[in-house]
C-alpha cells in the first residue's frame, strides 16, 4: 500500500467502474463470433459456439486485467503482470492436457475451447482479489 493514499476507497470506486466496463464488453465480443455458431447444430457449428464463448470470456478477462492494472499502485503492477502471464501459460497447458485424448476427434476443438472458457471465467476471482483488502501484493 502506498503511504498517504486511501487504497480501500480507490479500490471500491475501481470495482464499481470495472463491473460497468466488463458488462459492456460482452456484446462486442459476441458480435465477433460470426454466423457459423448454432447450438445443437453440426459438430462444426457447435465447435464455433465454443470458440465464440471462449472469445467472449477472453475479451472480458482482458478488459478486467487492464482495469485492475490501472487501479493498482505502480509497485503492485509487476507482481500482477507476472502472475497473469503465468496463469495464461498454465491455462493453455491445463486445457491441452485435459483434452489431449480428444484432440483428433471432430468435437476436439469444442472440448478444448470449453476448457479454456472455464479456466478464463475462473480467473476473474483471482483478478478481483487484487482490488480487495487481502491483495496478494500486501506483505
How far lies 116's CA from each of 11, 35, 47, 72, 89, in Å? 28, 21, 13, 27, 11
For domain 36-131, the question of CATH label 1.20.1270.180 is answered with yes
**Residues belonging to the chain:** 139
Query: What per-residue confidence (pLDDT) applies to 138?
Result: 61
Neighbours of 52 (CB within 10 A): 20
- Which residue stretches of the chain have pLDDT < 50? 1-35
* Residues contacting residue 84 through CB under 8 Å, at least 6 positions apart: 65, 127
Amino acid at each position: 500500500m502506498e503511504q498517504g493514499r486511501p487504497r480501500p476507497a480507490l479500490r471500491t470506486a475501481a470495482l464499481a467502474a470495472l463491473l460497468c466496463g466488463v458488462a459492456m464488453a460482452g456484446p462486442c465480443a459476441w458480435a465477433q463470433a460470426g454466423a457459423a455458431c448454432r447450438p445443437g447444430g453440426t459438430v462444426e457449428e457447435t465447435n464455433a459456439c465454443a470458440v465464440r464463448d471462449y472469445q467472449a470470456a477472453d475479451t472480458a478477462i482482458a478488459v478486467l486485467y487492464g482495469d485492475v492494472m490501472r487501479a493498482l499502485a505502480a509497485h503492485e503492477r509487476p507482481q500482477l503482470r507476472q502472475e497473469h502471464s503465468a496463469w495464461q501459460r498454465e491455462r493453455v497447458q491445463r486445457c491441452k492436457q485435459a483434452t489431449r485424448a480428444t484432440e483428433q476427434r471432430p468435437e476436439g476443438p469444442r472440448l478444448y475451447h470449453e476448457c479454456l472458457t472455464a479456466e478464463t471465467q475462473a480467473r476473474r476471482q483471482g483478478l478481483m482479489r487484487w482490488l480487495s483488502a487481502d491483495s496478494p501484493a500486501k506483505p
